[in-house]
Amino acid sequence: MLHSFALKNFLSFKERTEVSFALTQKASSHGWDAPSPGGQRLATALAVIGANGAGKTSLIKPVAFLSWFINHSFLQSAPNAQIPIKPHFSAPNEPVEFEIEADDLDGILWRYVLKATPERVLHEAIYKRPNKKRARFSYVFERDWDEATREYVIKQDGFGLNPTEAKKVRPNASLISTAAQYGVEVAQHLIGANVASNIMQVGRVDPNLGFINASIFFHENAALKKQMETLLHNLDFGLSGVEIRKLDMTMPPDMKLPDGTKLPSQYQVMGVHTLKDGSRHELQMLEESSGTRMAFTQLWYLLSVLANGGIAAIDELESDMHPHMIEPLLDLFASPHTNPHNAQIIFTSHSIEVIGLLGKSQVFLVEKKDCESEAWRLDTMDGVRVQDNLYAKYMSGAYGAVPQL
């Protein structure tokens, strides 16, 4: 489970900012909490609230970026491509810094640290702490760029990558991502974390691409498709079911493809409507409301994480949907029945009611001053009580992070 992550000099966040899922034993969670394998009480849902342009999306982007960098930077980056990170515009020559802590199913706590510019990794390291009393972190590897020699100095303690191969790791790739391709067991263990996100380096995933991926996912996962249909029906979208048909495409007779290739399949998604007389009628999902289509796509992100455990990082969870939809979506992460693997979600929202829903320990506020974003958890503010009407106080401006109109 994810314990925390931190960022510095990334996008609009110039100073170090930490996002923690850790809860004290006394903290109220309203049901959105679970013990980690190592015994730490953690939130299973965190909301990020703030004015437009404050930096809400930037705050949760590290989750998506680090997942991509650790898992895919070796295979998905061209040899000379830049690392897709952007420092604060007032410090373009300073490195971007990230840190993330999570424990695995054995309760071992892992800490990953990355300092990089768009041109190269400057420092990358993994530390681990066994699930034992008074245990301390020890390094598994440390990788540092030596400007004088123009090469990396790499120390390993049980990581298992051949030193000769370690020296060859590209400046724009993670040592973990590279080592996993060589079958290094520790690296393959570390890339197993499941992260689902609608965020890319330059913004949100294109809704059309998200819809296509959701269609393929639900076509290939019958049990989760059934759960998606039940949820869409219960959420009062007017659907009694969803039909997804895989269509094999063919070329016109006068056109040919290279030998051994064929056109990719397409997926036809139909919303099923049942009338009072029992008759069924289908509509193309593209003819349904934007809220229905968005719910279909969002459920792909959420159910894929709930089914296996992991973390969902979602920008504007209730996008195109009625604000009342946010509670039943979050309830999926509160119930042991729908969240048997203690999956977590961090999301941005403009539905301020979520403050009262989750409570002060599971809401981050984001504000931008003088072109710099800052974020804080609501329970770190003096004088915020559990019994307060958090929604009313936020709307009155008592906590900050509201538009200055």
- Percentage of the residues of the chain whose pLDDT score is greater than 90: 83
Among the residue ranges 36-50, 103-117, 272-286, the one predicted with the least confidence is 272-286
Q: Please identify, among 251, 284, 308, the residue that sits at the C-terminal boundary of a domain.
A: 308
Residue 176's domain comprises 1-194+309-405
Specify the pLDDT at position 90: 97
Q: How far is CA 349 from CA 31, 197, 241, 353, in A?
A: 19, 15, 28, 10
In a domain, 202, yes or no: no
Is 203 within the bounds of a domain? no
The answer on 320 and 304 residing in a single domain is: no
Regarding whether 108 and 69 lie in a shared domain, the answer is yes
Query: Tens of pLDDT along 359-377?
Result: 999 999 999 999 999 999 9
Distance CA 5, CA 65 (A): 12
Confidence at 202, pLDDT banded by 50, 70, 90: low
Radius of gyration of the chain, Cα coordinates, nearest whole angstrom: 23
Domain match, 297 and 325 both = no
Instruction: Give the C-alpha separation, 395 to 127, whole Å.
Output: 42
β-pairing, 363-369 vs 45-50, is: parallel
Same domain, 283 and 318: no
pLDDT of 326 reads 93
Written as six digits, the tokens of 328 are: 């039943």
Q: What is the C-alpha separation between 187 and 182, in angstroms, rounded?
A: 9
Query: pLDDT tens for residues 92-123?
Result: 999 999 999 999 999 999 999 999 999 999 99
Looking at the domain assignment, is residue 207 inside a domain? Answer: no
Same domain, 95 and 220: no
Examine residue 58 and state whether it is found in any structural domain, yes or no: yes
Q: Is the pLDDT of residue 236 over 90?
A: no
**pLDDT given at position 30:** 85
333 and 353 within one domain: yes
Q: Taking 80 as the threshold, does the pLDDT of residue 249 lie above it?
A: no
Number of domains in the chain: 2
Which candidate, 247, 284, 251, places its Cα nearest to that of 266? 247
Angle between helices 222-234 and 207-220 (to 10 degrees): 120
Does one domain contain both 171 and 291?
A: no
Whether 82 has a pLDDT exceeding 90, the answer reads yes
In this structure, the dihedral spanned by the alpha carbons of residues 48, 54, 57 and 62, taken in order and rounded to 10 degrees, is -90
Judge if 160 and 12 occupy the same domain. Answer: yes
What integer best gives the mean pLDDT of the chain? 94
Residue 298 lies in a domain: yes
Q: In the block, which residue shows the tokens 């007779």?
A: 253
What pLDDT is recorded for position 300? 97
Q: Would the pLDDT of 253 be above 80?
A: no
66 near 399, Cβ under 8 Å?
Answer: no
Query: What does the pLDDT average to over 162-180?
Result: 96
Q: Can you tell me the distance from the alpha carbon of 344 to that of 302, in angstroms, rounded to the nearest whole number?
A: 9
Would you say residue 204 lies in a domain? no
Residue 201 lies in a domain: no
Same domain flag for 33 and 47: yes
Predicted TM-score (pTM) of the model is: 0.93
* Residue 37: predicted pLDDT: 96
Residue 237 or 348, more confident: 348
- 218 and 151 part of one domain: no
**290 Cβ neighbours under 8 A, 6+ residues apart:** 320
Among 255, 287, 308, which residue terminates a domain? 308
Q: Is the pLDDT of residue 181 over 70?
A: yes
* Last residue in a domain, options 277, 308, 339: 308
Query: Does residue 199 lie within any of the structural domains?
Result: no
In the predicted model, is pLDDT for residue 207 greater than 90? Answer: no
pLDDT band at 204 (very low <50, low <70, confident <90, very high): confident
Q: Are residues 114 and 253 in the same domain?
A: no
Amino acid at 334: A
**The domain that contains 43 carries what CATH number?**
3.40.50
CB 329, CB 317: distance < 8 Å: yes
Same domain, 273 and 316: no
Cα 2 from Cα 260, distance rounded (Å): 44
Residue 260, pLDDT > 80, answer no
